[in-house]
Structure 1
Amino acid sequence: MWSIVEYLRKPELVVTVQEWFGIEYDDTYDQIEKEQTFYGQNNISPNLEMRKQYSNYPEHKKQRRKQISDDCASDVKKSQEESVNVDESTGSYQITNKFWYYLFLLGTELGDEIFYATMIPFWFWNIDGAVGRRVVFIWSVIMYIGQVLKDIIRWPRPGRPVHRLQNKWSIEYGMPSTHAMVAVAMPFSVVIFMLDRYQFSATNGFLIAFVWCLIVCVSRIYLGMHSVADVIAGIFLTILLMIPLIPLVDKLDHIILSSTFSPLFVIGIPILLIIYYPCSEKWTPTRGDTTTIISVGTGILMGAWLNYQLGAFQPPEITSTRPYEIIWPTQRMLGLILLRTILGLCGVIATRALGKSIAYAVVCMLLGRDQNEVKASESTLENRDKIIVELSYKFFVYSSIGFIVNCLLPNVFKMLNIGRPDFYTEI
């Protein structure tokens, strides 16, 4: 069993996937890399025969070989000193199929925070809040578990001979792939919860979810950011987690909305999860990203709780039984969707900018530190003050964003007579 895992972790398997989708490797670079590694490990110099062979190279090949050799030697030395994966030389591969390149760039963005920063608000303002709450709950739990496992397992991302086409998240560990986890959790939970409420083709829904998941997962291997083992582990772990989570979240939703004491748990549990997040052997942005994710979930649930307590969530206006018929938007409704989205995202951006400034200044003041000094300081495990400031401001800012997305802005929209009609019910 372990031999299978080791095989799936091999960087050569990632290279095979990359080459299949049109990435051509520079053999000169790979050969020099092997030479540099061999000579470095054995503390010897190239033999006279190889030097003679090199002297017969055309001038342009000499220059090319010298450039790659210098880059390779620098990277090998750096990787040995830091014991981490390094980014590859940009001149060592060539993209021959632009279709796959741009498709997988798009695919990896479907697991990025920019996508969720727009998709989640859009869903609440224009589609269905009841489904949105459940999906965000699933997303928060799945991502927290995946991020924690990364810092516990501490398996590095694929190293040489893999060439990375993306630098973002490179400093984080790789096992399991949280992109793969969210690629399973988000689309499939949307389809499952929507099927419980609306009439549409389950086959089409699951087909779209499968294609979504496939593109995101393959993109992580194609870009050289994850091994095949990372991706497979992320997929199967999410499936196992969703089996109990789907029915549990469905039941917890009503309890959270109706209980008077919900805020104690909805706010308290995420704070404890942030405080007792497992420490890694080196600083990575994983803990901060995890704080952002569960803070958004906290704000969403608190906004829904307040809406319910204030009577904003009403029983269905039309007598109908679930699953409901989907009401497709008219031309006027499409205009209102665009208006709500633009105004809402402006509100989110303003909240983030203002909230970050206020929270950063307040936390630094409580710690007796200058905020400019804290911002300029290096992010390390030993820099406790910066860690406290970063986690505190992220929890405040992103829980506030979640709250205004699900509570404040929808009510403002209704006051302006541009709100989304509650076709059936938000409960």
Structure 2
Amino acid sequence: MEGGISFWQALSLSAIVGWVGASASFDLTRRFRALTQPWVTRRVVADTPSILRLQRCHHRYLDNMFSVLSCVVSVPFYTGFLPLLFWSGHSKLARQMTLLMAFCDYTGNSVKDVISAPRPSCPPVRRVTATKDEKENATEYGLPSSHALNTVCLSGYLLHYILTNSPQNDTVAVVAGFSLVFLLVILIGIGRIYLGMHSLIDVAAGIVFGLVILAFWLAVHDYVDNFIISGQNVTSFWASLSFLLCFAYPTPEFRTPSFEYHTAFNGVAFGIVSGIQQTYLHFHHEGVPHIFTPELTFPVFIARVLVGIPTILIVKFCSKAIAKWLLPVMCNTLGIPIVSSCYIPALKVSDNGKNKSEFKQAGYLQKVVSFLPQKAYDVDTGIRFLQYAGLAWSVVDLVPSLFSHLNL
């Protein structure tokens, strides 16, 4: 049931607006970077001999092992794994891990771009990038290690969820669970250094940030879940939050893919929240069948995957196509100057001056958005957000509806 905006919602959004204003007025990002970047850079340089000593024992089996481990805890892996978790009946775990992943991604990438500290220099360090995703990761800033941060948070939360929902938790099971998580975190940390992707300070910072974020999430996750399921103004509040977080994101010293990753997962979080809020009682309540039960056998789950994966890919393609057409029209109508990094050739940054002159003829509706700074905005951000929001919405709303009609 929708009602007036609550005090905590108004306070949250006002705090972000206040931070954006204060950051812009006092140039807080640049000031903080001036304090932290030199020290972190010196630590990265000082860690180089340690990295080289570790890399002396390199072997192709170690290259393959650590590359595979990095892929298993990477953002693309979770992006592919989380839909399967939703469709297997574990909706609460899936939505919590999705939101935690978005939170980790935003926080970690924000810190990266605020500090703008380099990765270990290559050469002399040998850098192993076995996948396209790893090559893109290598173009980001270094501290903190996103792989270490995400591993601590997501494996830690998964362990918490399993121990909390298991009927019997003996000491051996608890110790074994913590030991596995600890071993995974250590292997990921060593692997990021061995692959030449991070220095020791990057990994240590990733683990520390991960522990802080995990502790915070364990304190608030039930409140967040209750809000998504039965709160007021859920969709409108999350849309406002997503919009403001784009402006609150810090500007790095040089452009990196970090903001693009954040935008994608920001869209995923919005799509999941809006879809769950609308369909919780139909497809995502606690009584839905779980995999490996008579109500949801493994063959039926495979059928769900065969139906679901093509469907969400089609929705992702259509969402992107619609956004590429709709957003420029809306911005043109409102008089918002835009450019495009890659999606719309006619709005490439090289045509910046031409685009601005065209948008100055937009008409009286430009007054509606006159509070915005007079600069050209990258429309690709909105396109990417809507593309992944549509994909996530289809995972929790459209695809379960298809399952229901097909008796899957």
TM-score range relative to shorter protein:
0.7 to 0.9
- Aligned match for 1:188, one of 156, 169, 174: 156
Alpha-carbon distance in 2 for matches of 1:299, 1:267: 10
When residues 349 and 264 of structure 1 are mapped into structure 2, their CA distance, relative to the original with a 3 A threshold, is same
Post-superposition CA distance 1:178-227 (Å, at most 9, x none): 11111111111112123222346334433433343333322221211111
- After TM superposition, list the pairs within 5 Å mapping 1:53-202 onto structure 2: 97-159=59-121, 160-166=123-129, 167-199=135-167, 201-202=173-174
- Cα drift, residue 343 of structure 1: 1.8
In structure 2, distance between residues paired with 1:331 and 1:302: 27
The 5-angstrom pairing of residues 38-53 of structure 1 reads: none
Could you report, residue by residue, the CA deviation over 1:24-52 in whole angstroms, capped at 9, with x for unpaired residues? xxxxxxxxxxxxxxxxxxxxxxxxxxxxx
- 1:251 CA displacement: 2.1
Return 255-264 or 201-210, whichever deviates more: 201-210
Distance in 2, matches of 1:259 and 1:193, equals 23
3-state SS of 2:250 partner: coil
Q: How does 1:269-288 map onto structure 2 within 5 Å?
A: 269-288=241-260
Q: Is the 8 Å Cα contact of residues 111 and 143 (structure 2) preserved in structure 1? A: yes
1:195/1:202 contact within 8 Å kept? yes
Q: How many angstroms does 1:257 deviate by?
A: 1.1
- Matched AA of 1:213: V
Deviation (angstroms), 1:313 = 4.8
Per the TM alignment, residue 260 of structure 1 is displaced from its structure 2 partner at its CA by 2.6
Structure 1 residue 409, shift from structure 2 partner: 1.0
Which of these residues, 4, 7, 12, is aligned with residue 49 of structure 2? 12
Pairing of 1:215-294 with structure 2 (within 5 A): 215-294=187-266
For the 8 Å contact 1:303–1:403, the answer to whether it is kept is yes
8 Å CA contact retained: 2:69, 2:188: yes
Which amino acid in structure 1 is aligned with residue 277 of structure 2? W
The alignment partner of 2:378 has SS state of: helix
| CA 150–9 in structure 1, closer or farther in 2 if over 3 Å, else same | farther
Q: Distance in 1 between matches of 2:291 and 2:174?
A: 17
Cα RMSD (Å): 3.1
Evaluate the alpha carbon distance shift between residue 386 and residue 11 of structure 1 in structure 2; reply closer, same or farther with a 3 A threshold: farther
Q: CA deviation at 1:229?
A: 0.7
Tell me how many residue pairs correspond in the alignment.
332
Are 1:179 and 1:216, in contact at CA under 8 Å, matched by a contact in 2?
yes
For residue 234 of structure 1, report the CA deviation from its aligned partner. 0.4
Determine the C-alpha separation between the residues in 1 that align with 2:378 and 2:44: 40
**Of 352, 366, 378, which aligns to 2:316?**
352
User: 1:106-135: per-residue Cα shift (whole Å, max 9, x none)?
Assistant: 111123332122111011111400111112
* TM-score, length basis structure 2: 0.73
State the identity %: 24
Counterpart contact for 2:292–2:298, Cα < 8 Å: no
Letter in 2 for 1:360: K
Which residue in 2 is equivalent to 1:34?
none
- Post-superposition shift, 1:6? 2.4
Q: Which amino acid aligns with 1:11?
A: T
The answer to whether the Cα contact below 8 Å between 1:299 and 1:398 also exists between their aligned partners in 2 is yes
SS of 1:279's partner is: coil
Distance 1:303 1:235 in 2: 32
- 1:79 counterpart residue number: none
1: CA distance, partners of 2:56 / 2:256? 30
Q: CA deviation at 1:416?
A: 0.9
Q: Which moved more, 1:384-393 or 1:231-240?
A: 384-393
Distance, in Å, in 2 between the alignment partners of 1:17 and 1:330 is 50
Say if 1:153 and 1:175, in contact at 8 Å, map to a contact too. Answer: yes
Verify the 8 A CA contact 2:93 2:161 in the aligned structure 1.
yes
Q: Which has the higher helix share?
A: 2
Relative to 1, partners in 2 of residues 1:179 and 1:311: Cα closer, same or farther, differing over 3 Å?
same
| 8 Å contact kept, 1:257–1:304 | yes
Q: Distance in 2 between matches of 1:256 and 1:239?
A: 24
Alpha-carbon distance in structure 2 between the residues aligned to 1:317 and 1:358: 33
Does the 8 Å CA contact 1:157/1:173 hold for their aligned counterparts? yes
Cα deviation for residue 174 of structure 1 reads 0.4
| Greater Cα shift, 198-207 or 405-414 | 198-207
**Where does residue 365 of structure 2 map in the other structure?**
none
Which protein has the larger Cα radius of gyration, Structure 1 or Structure 2?
1
Q: By how many angstroms is 1:264 displaced? A: 2.2
CA contact (8 A) 1:296 1:402 kept: yes
Q: Residue 319 of structure 2 contacts residue 386 of structure 2 at CA under 8 Å; is this kept in 1? A: yes
**1:9, 1:228 within 8 Å by CA — same for their partners in 2?**
no
Paired position in structure 2 for 1:37 = none
1:394 equivalent among 380, 384, 394: 384
TM-score when normalising by structure 1? 0.70
- Is contact 2:159-2:177 (8 Å) kept? yes
Task: Please give the alpha-carbon distance, in whole angstroms, between the structure 2 residues aligned to 1:317 and 1:143.
Answer: 29
Contact 1:375-1:386 within 8 A present in 2 as well: no
Mapped partners of 1:195, 1:334: distance in 2: 24
Amino acid at match of 1:10: D
How far apart are 1:148 and its partner, in Å?
A: 0.3
Code of the aligned partner of 1:147: N
Post-superposition CA distance 1:237-292 (Å, at most 9, x none): 11022112212012221122101311122221111001221111211111111111
Equivalent-residue separation in structure 2 for 1:386 and 1:113 (angstroms) = 30
Deviation at 1:16, TM superposition (A): 1.8
- Cα distance in structure 2, aligned partners of 1:131 and 1:239: 19
Cα distance in 2 for partners of 1:379, 1:196 equals: 56
Task: Return 5+ residue gaps in structure 2 as ranges.
Answer: 1-38, 130-134, 333-338, 357-374
CA deviations over 1:142-187 (Å, ceiling 9, x no partner): 2211100001111101014112112332221101111111111111
- Superimposed CA distance per residue, residues 363-397 of structure 1 (whole angstroms, 9 cap, x where no aligned partner): 233445796425765799xx999862111011111
